[in-house]
Structure 1
Amino acid sequence: MTLLEARGLGKHFGGLHAVQDVDLDVHPGHVTAIIGPNGAGKSTLFNLLAGFYRPTSGTVRMDGRDITGMSPHRIVAHGIARTFQTTSLFGDATVLDNVLSGRIVRSRSTVVDAVLHTPRHRREERTNLDKAMEVLEFTGLTEYRNDLAARVPQEAQKRVSIALALATEPQLLLLDEPAAGLTEEETEGFARLIRRIVDRGVTVCLVEHRMSMVMSLADHILVLDHGREIASGTPDAVRTDPQVIEAYLGTHHDDGPDHNADSNSADHNSADHNGADKNTTGRDVAGRGAEKGGNTC
């Protein structure tokens, strides 16, 4: 059974082929990782899956339904939530209010309900608050609930982004470099959180440069290079694939990838993303905005 299926997916920016003829299968209950060198098209692929880019070619199906070219907020409603490499929350709002914003996609109340404070609106408010508090506890953020999002530590802000995404009740969570900028200890904590998210019943697909995290978490890995798939398989199969070693991992593929990824950071300045997802985590994962900036892989 396949939860998310992409076939022949492509995206061109003028003469630049950022993603070319990519197939991807994400199975429920699994962690699928997308890796590749800087500029390989990883975040562009995420943007296609989440609706921030319209594909030039190919199709995307979620739980059997064609979602190709749908807007981000409609895709969130179909069960896909996405976090971004650079967190950008509602900084002048509390952590709790940020997480509550993720409930908008599940709202059934109308403006009239809100103005008149109808029973339906009151029930929904209680449900949303209960859900937000449960997600805050799950992500270890209860102590920060009344703090302004801009004032909590970076690692906590990343967890707020995940909590906001979980508040939308996704079937599939797309995580774009969740460990970027974190210490080794914080990275291990995030790996544990991701395992708990999967245990919660949410399927995870992630882009990540830290190979130790990828190899320990992933059930399946897709490797991109210059926008094309060069390998796909289990961590052990990918680790020993000659094309992967040549294109990305290098000859010292036990510890080389982590060093390479950390020293190069992420692909923010790659040409395949002029205008991607810099300032969107809080608004867009809840389907409230559109993509404004650019983070690249």
Structure 2
Amino acid sequence: MLLQVRDLSKRFGGLDAVKDVSFDVPEGQVTAIIGPNGAGKSTLFNLLAGFYVPTAGTVTFNGKGITGMKPHQTVREGIARTFQTTHLFDGSTVLDNVRAACAVRSRSNAIDAVLRTPRHRRDEKESLEKSMRALEFVGVEHLRAEIATTLPQETQKRISLAIALATEPSLLLLDEPAAGTTDEETEGFGELIREVVAAGITVCLVEHKMSMIMNLADQIVVLDHGQRIAIGTPDQIKNDPLVIEAYLGAGANQAGAAS
């Protein structure tokens, strides 16, 4: 397994945002994390990526324990994360936003940059080439000179994906990649995610658009009130009574039985 999560918990004061969650993320597949609002999905992502330190439990990635690592460390290990709300550099071009992400794999240091050493020049050339490949992959290379924050939301989400790809991840954590997009744009994101997996990158995503999840995911993990209530294939999940109750309320099954 690429990622193993065991009994992961995060408590804020008296609230268990994530409690005793365990699951595996198989390599080369799409794993979806779903659940009602407030179920703990984004908190779970923040624990995996190192933005939060868990109260309890462990995270193992590529056979290595990464529990409690900082975000810059998990990125170096090969985990990249996007956010529901895009965070791009104000006043910077699309290309410069992506090139900034390449620094995580840079071999040069501040002295190299000041002296413009051969190593620094090689890094700059490689980062430019890598950035352009990432922009081409997500379909926005023609916008490389535009100011990123002035572009439409769907385009900014593609840029965020390019930034994540530029860090050369093995695992990509996508937090609501289709939020705020049209049905047509959502379908396009689904195709793009399939291309990411085909390129050898494992994907774990949080998403509210169930049609996208059901068409895309190999495995679905369902959270409710911070706890895992189900795990399985899309067919297994959509027929799981606990999942139906979590989304529709306890009366849903009774109403269905009465009709």
TM-score by length of 1: 0.83
Provide the identity percentage. 66
Task: Specify the alignment match of 2:126 in structure 1.
Answer: 127
The residue aligned with 1:112 is 111
Give 3-state SS (helix, strand or coil) of 1:84's partner.
coil
Q: Which amino acid aligns with 2:134?
A: V
The amino acid of 1:37's aligned partner reads P
Q: Does 1:39 align with 2:38?
A: yes
CA distance in 1, matches of 2:109, 2:45: 32
Are the equivalent residues in 2 in contact too, given 1:89–1:98 (CA < 8 A)? yes
Q: Which amino acid aligns with 1:219?
A: D
Report what 1:7 is aligned to.
Answer: 6
Find out whether 1:228 has 2:213 as its counterpart: no
Give the letter aligned to residue 242 of structure 2: Q
Equivalence for 2:63: 64
Cα deviation 1:230-249 (Å, max 9, x = unaligned): 00000000110000011025
Structure 2 counterpart of 1:205, one-letter code: C
Q: 1:204 to 1:249 in 2, by over 3 A?
A: farther
Deviations 1:201-253 (CA, angstroms, capped at 9, x unpaired)? 1100000000000000000000000000100000000110000011025659x
CA–CA separation in structure 1 for the residues paired with 2:87 and 2:206: 18
Unmatched tracts of structure 1, length 5 or more = 253-297
How many angstroms does 1:3 deviate by? 0.2
Give the Cα separation in 2 of the matches to 1:112 and 1:173. Answer: 32
- What amino acid does structure 1 have at the position aligned with 2:208? H
- Structure 2, unpaired ranges of 5+: 254-259
Q: Aligned ranges for residues 270-281 of structure 1 at < 5 Å?
A: none
SS in 2 for 1:8: strand
Q: How does 1:237-248 map to 2 (within 5 A)?
A: 237-248=236-247
Aligned to 1:182: 181
Which whole-Å CA distance do the structure 2 matches of 1:105 and 1:248 have between them?
A: 40
Q: Is the 8 A contact 1:144 1:152 kept in 2?
A: no
Correspondence list, 1:19-30, <5 A: 19-30=18-29
Shift of the 242–164 alpha-carbon distance from structure 1 to 2, 3 Å rule, reads same
User: How big is the shift at 1:42?
Assistant: 0.4
Question: Following the alignment from structure 1 to structure 2, what is the Cα–Cα distance between the partners of residues 41 and 20?
Answer: 9
Shift of 1:63: 0.2
Q: Distance in 2 between matches of 1:36 and 1:89?
A: 27
Whole-angstrom distance in 2 between the partners of 1:134 and 1:59: 35
What are the superposed Cα offsets for residues 53-87 of structure 1, whole Å, 9 maximum, x if unpaired? Answer: 00000000110000000000000000000000000
1:181 and 1:137 map into 2 onto residues whose CA distance is: 23
Match of 1:283 in 2: none
- Structure 1 residue 91: deviation in Å? 2.2
- The answer to whether the 8 A contact 1:41-1:227 is kept is yes
Structure 1 position 208 matched with structure 2 position 207: yes
User: For residues 94-153 of structure 1, what are the alpha-carbon distances to aligned partners after superposition, in whole Å with 9 as ceiling and x for unaligned?
Assistant: 000000011011011011111111111111111110000011111101111000011111
Distance 2:36 2:123 in 1: 45
Q: 1:249 and 1:89 mapped to 2: Cα distance? A: 36
2:50 counterpart of 1:51: yes
TM-score by length of 2: 0.95
- Equivalent residue letter for 1:143: H
The 1:249–1:186 alpha-carbon spacing in structure 2 relative to 1, beyond 3 Å, is farther
Partners of 1:96 and 1:201 in 2: CA distance: 24
What is aligned with 1:293?
A: none
State the 1:88 CA deviation: 1.5
Count of aligned positions:
251
The equivalent of 2:257 in structure 1 is none
Aligned AA (2:149): A
Question: For residue 126 of structure 1, what is the amino acid of its counterpart?
Answer: K
Deviations 1:243-292 (A, max 9, x none): 0011025659xxxxxxxxxxxxxxxxxxxxxxxxxxxxxxxxxxxxxxxx
Is the 1:12–1:56 Cα contact (8 Å) retained in structure 2?
yes
